[in-house]
Structure 1
């Protein structure tokens, strides 16, 4: 808890003076005003995050948190749980969606076992920070203790901080965990104060009971555990996941260190909501990548107050949307660094 509290205390508001100056420069670049749209707002946000007019994005990493879920026992998915283990290994090899897309921008993939049920081999290229072998079944009681939830947050903080200390200046979040749309939807239901029926999707594949069964499991888990909607850690502990906590910790660490962090799809967005419930100023450091095909994505984005930059009909997870967004953020930096103002080129307007 000491690390979590210390991290929270380091998070400040964006540099408004620098953002004002950045906006003035963007508006005077040799182009029609507002003509580069979201690239302009990203550039201004980056200046507020870093406190620099010309933000540099030259070392990028996506931190992928992997964990299993006890609620798998309820038959909410058709996918075998061993897929979490297998895909965690493949993510570390760089051959899954996130790795192949990340190659475009040269981003590093940092794969973390924060709660995979199976034992990951020591030579697999995965950072082993296992808190427990998957969460407990939230349909029968809390997914984890409050202490375990805090530890998940702190593992995320530690991993992100280490990357930042190694020079990373743009982070992305990703996850791997069979059944994790179930706890994500439960968290979102609590925070949005809505019935799970309104936001529950198919995830990676429905179990034999179909969508109705998945909705019932989520609804019953919330009723049994009664998570406090004003306490993000309590929600995380009772109906969350270890990888969800880990990603939230990454976001807290990024904000504490004035580093932008790109949010992936539904599960990453739910992690962002947990982070923001712990410290609302985190929202200012987030860049949302894409509008997920999962039904809860729209509500999650609305709660964050963020409009995703891309609509690509994606719902893979892993951080794939964040990887796809990295080149766009780099383009915003290039605009700011390489495009002169009308005054600088001697043009009158």
Structure 2
């Protein structure tokens, strides 16, 4: 993992303390600017070229009826991403971010399509209620897909990386991953995902509880957890986050599925944390467990639960404003305003 620049962090903190405002009065905006200063190695960071990769894959666990939507929606949404009709593509265009959707393992190959990168590892993960979601080869290949996306981003001059996801059934994977790694009761973490009713929610919990029990003895490391109960797109997200930290590219983490991947990356390499901003708090209960475990604060709380990277991308204007305020506000000396001293 690339170390952050502590000297730039100190200089940014000193600048914040000298701006014409009471210390700390811009709250989290100050922390964002200081964190990005440490990542970019400059006292005044800025975001010029954000990059968004949405990783798409299907999940065998959908065979158990854990989702309100059929698995075919994954490939239909990939086509929607390609056509520019999804929320994340609208935000990408608005924020002038580079956008791509990456097929890691949708059941049916939908390529070629505009803005689609096809790096298919398999036609979906296995049903982890019956067997491990992936074998070792699938896991390694899917994580490499995430690394490849970061390499593309860097080749185009990206200075901020956002990873989104699409995969019907992936809130099931996220819930069991977070339960296992945070050692928290699954009953407190299983959410409604795409909108299951009370009866479906109970069924989802029972299926996932049995699956956790099935794999318990085999989940000795974070990599084991990802292989046994994860998904191809979650593996790609995890690989991307680790690669961002290795290459020194700050990233914004999205909702509960992205947070499950961030948690996996953190458990594999805790040094990824300084490179991560957390875009928003969704209404999925498992996500808040990740915030507490890693000890981070999300930027926004808009009661979203869409995924796709949408909440992380929604934080982009706030991140840019944090940088602009940090760089362009006058200091007490420049404005000839008396400070507290």
Residue deviations 1:7-57 (CA, integer Å, cap 9, x gap): xxxx13322222111101111012221111111000000011111112121
Q: C-alpha displacement at 1:84, in angstroms?
A: 0.1
Name 2:149's counterpart in structure 1: 159
Post-superposition CA distance 1:46-86 (Å, at most 9, x none): 01111111212100111100000001110111211110001
Q: Which residue of 2 aligns with 1:37?
A: 27
- Classify 1:227/1:301 alpha carbon distance in 2 versus 1 (closer, same or farther; 3 Å): farther
Do 2:219 and 2:228's aligned partners in 1 also have CA atoms closer than 8 Å?
A: no
Q: How far off is 1:347 after superposition?
A: 3.6
**What's 2:203 paired with?**
213
2:227 maps to 237
1:296 match: secondary structure: helix
Q: Which runs of 5+ in 2 are unaligned?
A: none
In 2, are the aligned partners of 1:131 and 1:148 still within 8 Å (CA)? yes
State whether structure 2 residue 190 is matched by structure 1 residue 200. yes
**Alpha-carbon offset, residue 298 of structure 1:** 1.1
- What SS is found at the alignment partner of 1:262? strand
Task: Return the alpha-carbon distance in structure 2 between the equivalents of residues 66 and 181 of structure 1.
Answer: 13
Deviation at 1:209, TM superposition (A): 5.1
2: distance between equivalents of 1:340 and 1:252?
Answer: 37
Q: 2:113 and 2:181 mapped to 1: Cα distance?
A: 39
C-alpha contact (below 8 Å) 1:258/1:285 kept by paired residues: yes
Partner of 2:278: 288
Q: 2:122 aligns with which of 132, 146, 154?
A: 132
Distance 1:252 1:342 in 2: 40
State the alpha-carbon separation in 1 of the partners of residues 338 and 187 from structure 2.
58
Match 1:120 to one of 110, 113, 116: 110
Instruction: Select which of 184, 191, 205 maps to 2:181.
Output: 191
The residue aligned with 2:240 is: 250
CA RMSD of aligned residues (A): 1.6
With over 3 angstroms needed to count, the CA separation of the structure-2 counterparts of 1:122 and 1:238, relative to structure 1, is: same
Q: TM-score, normalised by structure 2?
A: 0.95
C-alpha distance in 1 between matches for 2:30 and 2:185: 37
Runs (5+) with no aligned partner, structure 1: 1-10
